[in-house]
Structure 1
């Protein structure tokens, strides 16, 4: 895989980001900065358009994926960069799904998206499920399922965080249904 001049990726997650990006060839020329942050409220990662580029044409918009430097699991704190590769790829693939969603929107629609995301739990659920669906349509189900299994069963995350994942994101069963539908369409 080659690194596009359009993508800024920290060395710690370069391989994982390149694998995730390889599933989204349409993002090859889209400026995306992957960036670690000390802490992100209620989340491990967050994809968003660069505010200064929101009203640029869709092909000239820039995005960033913010990655929390650490997550709290039970009574321990883990550095995100040390999460197993398959899980990191799944998480990044989900965030790239958000960017795919954003690319279908004009500037005003993106502003409205942000406001609705902050104000409506129903809208959060729709947006997160759309991002998962984009990832599955781009052949990332193995990684998305690994990430879900990690979050729901293996990580020892708080019950509150797990409940949030179950409430807002596709379940493993729903992901497999999307895979079936995708494969049926591609066989036709």
Structure 2
């Protein structure tokens, strides 16, 4: 399968590094769709240690966390708050200066948006897509958790570079797929594309696989690219065909 063309050597090396760093052992195998109110709380209890989660989204967050065993003991607060971006993940300020194992993180879920973006607020997403976008944010936290203090501080300045910021967003999608939440990410991307009426939405994978300028991209993979990566990733290949 061909995921793209005209790969420059820099993009090729960057992609190889991402792939090699994000293939991790999983706690669960991929599931095509999770249904609301079907979670066995005892099964997921171990993943809720050191987590502060609003009660109305405990199921979605716990399900996503179960695909990230490396975050089992990491302190993470999930909060609803008015924000300019629908979702954001970051280490708390003071914990950036602590050892990796002593850090804490916060995932902010926006409660407000401009009228045309209201359909993609978290509570307006389909249930399976909610799990997908939480998996995407957890992918960001795994990246932070692997950095030392100087790397974290350097990352803040690097994010001012558009190309680097697009790379980070692409990596979140790739980590989510590699951890087994590709179908949920696909549902989220598909829903956003439809809700925002973006039939020609390209997705940031083009940033890595073509020579088009980065300013032409959306900050996430489009559904077709997600589907391509799912098909190319071993953990999805043993699932029964429909």
Give the TM-score, by structure 1 length.
Answer: 0.84
Q: Which residue of structure 2 aligns with residue 132 of structure 1?
A: 173
- Root-mean-square deviation (CA, aligned residues, Å) is 2.6
Q: Mind listing any 5+ residue stretches in structure 1 that lack a counterpart?
A: none
Question: Alignment partner of 1:139: what SS?
Answer: coil
Structure with greater contact order relative to length (CA < 8 Å, sep ≥ 6):
2
Q: Higher helix proportion, which one? A: 1
Q: CA deviation at 1:11?
A: 0.8
Instruction: Please report how far the alpha carbon of residue 4 of structure 1 lies from its aligned counterpart in structure 2 after TM superposition.
Output: 2.3
Aligned residues: 180
The CA distance in 2 between the partners of 1:148 and 1:60, in whole Å, is 33
1:147 aligns with 2:188: yes
Q: Is the 8 A contact 2:89 2:105 kept in 1?
A: yes
Shift of 1:91: 1.0
Deviations 1:141-184 (A, max 9, x none): 1110001011111x236x7xx68875221222332333233218
Q: Which has the higher strand share?
A: 1
| Structure 2 unaligned spans of 5+ | 1-43, 205-216
How far apart are the structure 1 equivalents of 2:139 and 2:219? 15
What SS is found at the alignment partner of 1:29? coil
Give yes or no for the alignment of 1:182 onto 2:233: yes
Q: Contact 1:12–1:81 (CA<8 Å) still a contact in 2?
A: no
Do the aligned residues in 1 keep the contact of 2:77 with 2:106 (CA within 8 Å)? yes
Match of 1:44 in 2: 86
My pick for the range that moved more, 50-59 or 172-181, is 172-181
CA contact (8 A) 1:71 1:80 kept: no
Aligned to 2:75: 31
Q: Any runs of at least 4 consecutive aligned residues in structure 1 with deviations exceeding 6 A, and if so which?
A: 162-165, 184-187
Matches within 5 A, 1:37-116: 37-38=81-82, 40-41=83-84, 43-74=85-116, 80-116=122-158
Structure showing greater Rg: 2
Partner of 1:6 in structure 2?
Answer: 50
CA deviations on 1:36-91 (whole Å, 9 max, x unpaired) are: 112x22x2100000111012111111100000013345386786334321121111
